[in-house]
Amino acid sequence: MTDMTDLDMEEVLQIDIVSDVVCPWCIVGFKQLEQAIQQVGVTAAIKWHPFELNPDMVEEGENLREHIMRKYGSTAEQSQSARDRLAALGSELGFEFRFSDDSRMVNTFKAHQLIHWAGPEGKEHPLKMALFEAYFRDGKDLNNNEVLADIAGSIGLDWDEALKVLNENRFAEDIRQEEEFWRQNGIQGVPAVIFDRRHLITGAQGVDNYASILKQLVEGEAA
């Protein structure tokens, strides 16, 4: 992956990813895509876009297992099986899921505002990765302003400015508008990956499938 400004636009494959930082399949899908990019040897510019799995989530959040069981009608056994599967997938991809009985689903509107702010600072992608790790590995509350500012500070962003951004809800309207744009364009679930601004693929597709897609795009451009 690289910053688009570092290379001639014609040399870069643009990949837009609509996702949420509390979506496990979003980080699984990205890690699969990342491996496929390395396999195929393409130069890709990743751009992240906001999506809220639970825009109406209460301020204090909800126990993750209870939330999943209520939302999808799953049993405790199914929930544990899904966690085990994700943990195994994550391990294969170099990402650690640490689920616990205390894991919580939280609102992510603030986190998306922080990612938006980090873009012009050149830190959008590192922040996105740090947020995934903070939530899934460390069990951090991504709806807490100081926790979010700490995560921003950990990747070299200004802690005080990050906190101001969050306290002011500085980019709330920007996020609302972008979320609405993707809804209007048919995005109802994530991850949603748009290759070269033209080809939409939804769900975590696996390394081999992503590699096949990338090869087709590269060959198409070369033809």
Write out pLDDT tens, residues 126-176: 999 999 999 999 999 999 999 999 999 999 999 999 999 999 999 999 999
Strand partners, 18: 49, 192
pLDDT for the residue 222: 55
In this structure, are 180 and 119 located in the same domain? yes
Percentage of the residues of the chain whose pLDDT score is greater than 90: 92
In this structure, are 93 and 144 located in the same domain? no
25: enclosing H helix or E strand: helix 24-40
- pTM comes to 0.93
**Residue 4 pLDDT more than 70?**
no
User: How many other CB atoms sit within 10 Å of the CB of residue 169?
Assistant: 12
Q: Do the beta carbons of residue 152 and residue 114 sit within 8 Å?
A: yes
Query: The domain spanning residue 12 has which CATH number?
Result: 3.40.30.10
Q: What is the pLDDT of residues 56-74, one digit of tens each?
A: 999 999 999 999 999 999 9
**Residue 38 pLDDT more than 80?**
yes
Per the structure block, which two tokens stand in for 147?
Answer: 């926790």
Q: Give how far the C-alpha of residue 155 lies from the chain's centroid of Cα atoms, to the nearest Å.
A: 16
Strand partners, 49: 18
Per the structure block, which two tokens stand in for 54?
Answer: 């639970």
* 91 lies in some domain: yes
Bridge-based pairing of strands 104-105 and 62-63 is antiparallel
pLDDT for the residue 35: 98
Q: What is the mean pLDDT of the chain?
A: 94
* 164 lies in some domain: yes
Residue that has been written with the tokens 């200004």 in this structure: 158
Domain extent for 37: 1-51+187-223
Domain count, the chain: 3
Q: To 10 degrees, what angle do helices 124-136 and 145-154 make?
A: 120
In this structure, are 117 and 177 located in the same domain? yes
Q: What is the pLDDT of residues 88-119, one digit of tens each?
A: 999 999 999 999 999 999 999 999 999 999 99
| 113, 123, 150, 206 from 153: Cα distances, Å | 15, 11, 5, 32
* 120 lies in some domain: yes
In this structure, are 68 and 134 located in the same domain? no
* 57 lies in some domain: no
Residues in the chain: 223
* 56 lies in some domain: no
**Residue 9 pLDDT more than 60?**
no
Per the structure block, which two tokens stand in for 193?
Answer: 């990956």
